Amino acid sequence: MEMEVSKNSPWVRISKRILAGAAAVGPMVGTLWLLYVIYKLLLRIGDSMVSFIWNMLQRFSGVEAAVPSFPGIGLLHFLLPLFLLFAAGVVLKRSGGRRTLRGLESVLKRLPLVGLIYTSLVQFVDAIQGLGGERKFKSVVYVEYPSPGCRLIGFVTGEFQENEECEGVTSVFVPTSPNPLTGFLILIDNDKIQPCEMSVEQASKMVLSAGLVTPEK
């Protein structure tokens, strides 16, 4: 005969406290871990840049010497990529910098494989930058799949007129759960769209939690 564990038993209370602590500390630990990863990445880039510049100076001068080291040099290596990005942003604000960038872009786009990769990355970065502006998800809808009565959550990304005879088509991004960064894009006739009263934020939380977090109404 199996023993039933009481809801008020010490083990159940301890487990609930552990889960409550994990839920409270988890997001903070994840944020700190992500910041640490970014710091290590920038530090590694800075180290590579300093080593490259030092090696070039040695070749021109003909004098071999180790890379200088002193307290706080790691912070300088970390700040070097950020300073270069800041300088690039200042230069690109000027007309000459923008013309130079457009020239480099035109060269990259003409290359067979490099052009495809570069264009895709530019579109991805533009989409990330525009999430808080006009190109954010417009609304939430339902997509009937895989059988009648079943529905998927989709985010409306835009509408367009396919041809003169068509009444209109809506582009819907259907994310996968719990990883909303992947999914697929479908085109649905406007008259077949099933509206949803959830906000974009509510639907996003529901997708991220695999349905564990649902709206109150």
* Residue 117 resides in a domain: no
* pLDDT given for residue 1 in this prediction: 41
In-domain check, residue 106? no
Predicted pLDDT at 145: 82
Same domain, residue pair 151 and 87? no
Instruction: Say yes or no: 21 and 86 in one domain.
Output: yes
Q: What is the pLDDT of residue 2?
A: 44
Residue 45 contacts residue 81 (beta carbons within 8 Å)? yes
The answer to whether position 100 is within a domain reads no
Is residue 85 in a domain?
A: yes
Residue 26 falls inside a structural domain = yes
The whole-number pLDDT of residue 201 equals: 85
How many domains does the chain divide into? 2
Same domain membership, residue 86 and residue 20: yes
Tens-digit pLDDT profile for residues 132-182: 555 567 889 998 888 888 888 999 888 877 666 667 788 888 888 877 777
Domain extent, residue 146, equals: 139-208
The SS3 call for residue 79 is helix
Instruction: Assess whether 14 and 73 both reside in one domain.
Output: yes
Same structural domain, 88 and 162: no
What pLDDT is stored for residue 129 in this prediction?
Answer: 60
* Residues ≥6 apart with Cβ < 8 Å to 10: none
- Distance of alpha carbon 170 from alpha carbon 190, whole angstroms: 6
Indicate whether 12 and 86 sit together in one domain.
yes
Element (H, E) at 124: helix 112-129
**Pair 28, 85 in one domain:** yes
What pLDDT does residue 89 have?
85
Residue pair 145/152 in contact by the 8 Å Cβ criterion: yes
Whether residue 1 lies inside any domain: the answer is no
Which pLDDT belongs to residue 207?
85
Asked whether residue 14 is assigned to any structural domain, the reply reads: yes
Please state, in angstroms and rounded to a whole number, the distance separating the CA atoms of residues 175 and 156.
Answer: 11
- The reply to whether 19 and 86 lie within a common domain is yes
Question: How many C-beta atoms lie closer than 10 Å to residue 207's C-beta?
Answer: 21
pLDDT beneath 50: ranges in the chain? 1-3
| Domain membership flag for residue 43 | yes
